[in-house]
Structure 1
Amino acid sequence: MVTPTRPSWASSDAARSTMRANRSRDSHPEMALRRAVHALGLRYRVCKRPLPSLRRTADLVFSRARVAVFLDGCFWHGCPKHHSTPLTHSAYWSNKIRGNQDRDRDTDAQLAAAGWLTIRVWEHEDPIQAAQLIAQSVRARSNGPH
């Protein structure tokens, strides 16, 4: 018996293949940032919920310092420099990206209310410079009062 297949959610086979290839973690920009942060002597948790009650994971979590780092993809989070809405299904993608941005703002607000610092890094940013900012923030929060 052959199970009927559902029609693909993608606009084409090529689009579906591209979307399925996107990684939720361990992407090239994420690995570059992690290497740069590690080289500065910092240790962190990867792909972890900063708050157990918040169903959102940060890319790097420094629990003691209460710093959560999110590496945002230019397409998925609507980078002001690089994002462009696809011509196919543009209403869908505009709503999707707007929803991601709204969720990002809500995440930042919930973490701030719980005493966390949120650092957002765009995937196109220099990982060495981003790592230096992260290290300064983590060290400042580790040494001072929370």
Structure 2
Amino acid sequence: MDDLETKKVALRSANMSRIRGTDTGPELLLRKALWKKGLRYRLHSKIEGTRPDIVFKSRRLAIFIDGCFWHGCPLHYVRPRSRSEFWAEKLRSNTARDQAQTSLLVEKGWTVLRFWEHEVEGELNQVVATVLCAHNSSPRSNESRFVVTSVDPQSDDTELWLIEDLFNRGACRYEHRHRNPLKR
């Protein structure tokens, strides 16, 4: 690796290390909206070996706000062009952890709600209504939640995406998608 490439990697690494895991913009937005509705919650409480973003212990309700890039949003995920092996493994490990955490909580009787950051930012009223419904009702079955678990580049400038359901491990589909051209 030449000197310029080494500097680019170091800069990228420094930038990525500054990305928050807690108290993100979408998380704060949802927390404020829920607080205004009179809901009181715990933040990042450890339950069953996981740390959801928002927890209602008495209601056994766990809420995660997932970043589109980090958790494989089918609408917004973009496979990085550099260090593709590293990022493929990162996506795989993140989605595998999401699946394991979700399955464990559901098995232990928790209702799990997972929202994409773009849902919180663009459809806040609907997200709050969903949380209120889950909070005020008895435990319910979890809905489908599809995530990108792997992206394989193809020889014809397309990508083969594997999209799986977090709540139903057997449900998956493959999609061929065109790769956006490199911006110069």
Larger mean CA deviation between 65-74 and 133-142 belongs to 133-142
Whole-angstrom distance in 1 between the partners of 2:115 and 2:29:
12
SS of match in other structure, 1:23: coil
Whole-angstrom distance in 1 between the partners of 2:114 and 2:35:
18
2:34 to 26, 29, 37: 37
Whole-angstrom distance in 2 between the partners of 1:137 and 1:128:
14
Q: CA deviation at 1:15?
A: 1.0
1:133 to 130, 133, 154: 130
Q: TM-score scaled by structure 2?
A: 0.67
Whole-angstrom distance in 2 between the partners of 1:77 and 1:67:
20
Aligned length: 132
- CA RMSD of the aligned region, Å? 2.0
Partner residue in 1 for 2:94: 100
Q: Deviations over 1:72-130 (max 9, x none)?
A: 00111011010111101111101111111111111111101110011000001123321
Change (3 A) 1:11 1:115: farther
Amino acid at match of 1:13: A
Using CA pairs under 8 Å that are at least 6 residues apart, name the structure with larger relative contact order, 1 or 2. Answer: 1
Larger mean CA deviation between 16-25 and 113-122 belongs to 16-25
Q: CA deviation at 1:16?
A: 1.9
- Percent identity, aligned pairs only, is 35
Whole-angstrom distance in 1 between the partners of 2:45 and 2:71:
19
Whole-angstrom distance in 1 between the partners of 2:7 and 2:29:
30
Partner residue in 1 for 2:45: 48
Q: Which runs of 5+ in 1 are unaligned?
A: 1-8
Change (3 A) 1:113 1:10: farther
Whole-angstrom distance in 1 between the partners of 2:34 and 2:129:
7
* Contact 1:47–1:58 under 8 Å retained in 2: yes
Q: Which runs of 5+ in 2 are unaligned?
A: 1-5, 141-184
Q: TM-score scaled by structure 1?
A: 0.83
Partner residue in 1 for 2:64: 70
* Contact 1:10–1:16 under 8 Å retained in 2: no
Change (3 A) 1:67 1:11: farther
Partner residue in 1 for 2:17: 20
Whole-angstrom distance in 2 between the partners of 1:34 and 1:10:
38
